[in-house]
Every structure is written in C-alpha cells, then in structure tokens.
Chains A and B, each alone.
Chain A
Amino acid sequence: DVKVTQSSRYLVKRTGEKVFLECVQDMDHENMFWYRQDPGLGLRLIYFSYDVKMKEKGDIPEGYSVSREKKERFSLILESASTNQTSMYLCASSSGGVPRYGYTFGSGTRLTVV
C-alpha cells in the first residue's frame, strides 16, 4: 500500500514560531500537495509540487512556504505561526497524469498555535 506519512499527529506551537510540517511518501510519486481543513471551509489547497524543487501556489498560500529537495519529501513551512493557522493539515501524493488510484492522503497533523 502507498503510504503518506506526516511526521506529527498533533502539534502545539507558539505565535511567531517557525513551524515545519513534514510529509514523506514511499511510492515514488511525482506530485505532492498540502491542504488545510477547517470546519465549514472544507479542504483548501495551500501548495503543490509536480517535481523536485518545483512548487506551485494553491488557493491559500499566504503565510506558508514549501520545500521539496527530494522526491519523497514535501515540507510545509509556517514562517511565523499565527493563531489563524490553527488547523488540520493534510498532505497528499499522486502519480503523474490522472492517477489510476487517485491521491493518497496522510492522516493529518492537527496544529494548534497559541
């Protein structure tokens, strides 16, 4: 089975801290994605990447950056965490084109910024 592993299930950080959310996939997928999910707003795409060192802005990139130095790892960075970034963060990966078996999502990281 394809696995997408997010480094932390729960995380509590202070306002102003730099926060790294890590995501690793083990199926050699080209594409990786970061979403956040909030009650009433659903899943919103933050950033995505089609290849190593490539990144594209999603619908809500403000306050975030990403890094993809290796194909299997896609990191989401909160440069200076704020309370409005308290959310569930979900990472996903997929093969190129229209993936035969769809996207595979991780279990999520619930981030609380205090």
Chain B
Amino acid sequence: DAKTTQPNSMESNEEEPVHLPCNHSTISGTDYIHWYRQLPSQGPEYVIHGLTSNVNNRMASLAIAEDRKSSTLILHRATLRDAAVYYCIPGGSEKLVFGKGTKLTVNP
C-alpha cells in the first residue's frame, strides 16, 4: 500500500476555497487516488477519485501532479457542512486503506 502524508488539520473560512494537499510519493502506476471524507458521527463518504488527469464533480475538484506523487483536493466554496476529516487514499480496485486524514475546520 502506498504511504500518504496529509496535514493533521487545516482551517478555512466559509465561502472561501480550500486546497487539501496529499503526498503519495510511493504510489504505483496503476493506483487511483481516492478521496473520502467523514463528517462527525457518520461513516466516510466518497468525494472523488482520479488516475492521471484532473477531475471535477459536483462536490470537489481533484488536481493530480504530473508525476502523480501528490494531489490536491479543492473545495471551491467551503460551507459549514464541509467540516470533516478528509482522507486521501491511493489504491486500485481492491481494498482501501485509510490513513489519519486531515481534519478540516470551517469558520463561519
């Protein structure tokens, strides 16, 4: 399993963009980069995933470095509901291995 490094915590203000970084320098060539988040008292929920190209969906954007050793999850306008722990998970089609993630605090 590829090793990931994420900041333990980050803080943002409501309605501002948030860039959540993740370093995954040992990622294999076939691993996707998955992002999940976990709101308080809930199970994790899928946010986005990608392989090489940047990806957008209704929740977020994923920017993947050209060498794939790092990626950034972008929340374009943070809301209070985005306060959660965000997990970056390199992996293929098998099991996902969760790290400690980044706890995002959103200030009103």
Contact = CB atoms under 8 A, between A and B. Distances in A.
Interface residues of B, number: 19
B21 interface: no
Give the secondary structure class of B's interface: loop
B36 A102 contact: yes
A108 B43 contact: yes
Contacts of B100: 42
B97 A59 contact: yes
Contacts of A56: 95
Interface residues of A, number: 24
A42 B92 contact: no
Interface string A44-65: 1100100000001011000000
A92 B43 contact: yes
A26 to B, nearest CB: 16
Given A42-B98, A98-B32, A90 B44 contact: yes
A104 interface: yes
The 3 A-B residue pairs with the shortest CB-CB distance, nearest first, are A102-B46, A105-B43, A43-B98
8 contacts: A4-B43, A43-B44, A45-B96, A56-B95, A98-B32, A103-B36, A104-B46, A108-B43
B45 interface: yes
B95 A102 contact: no
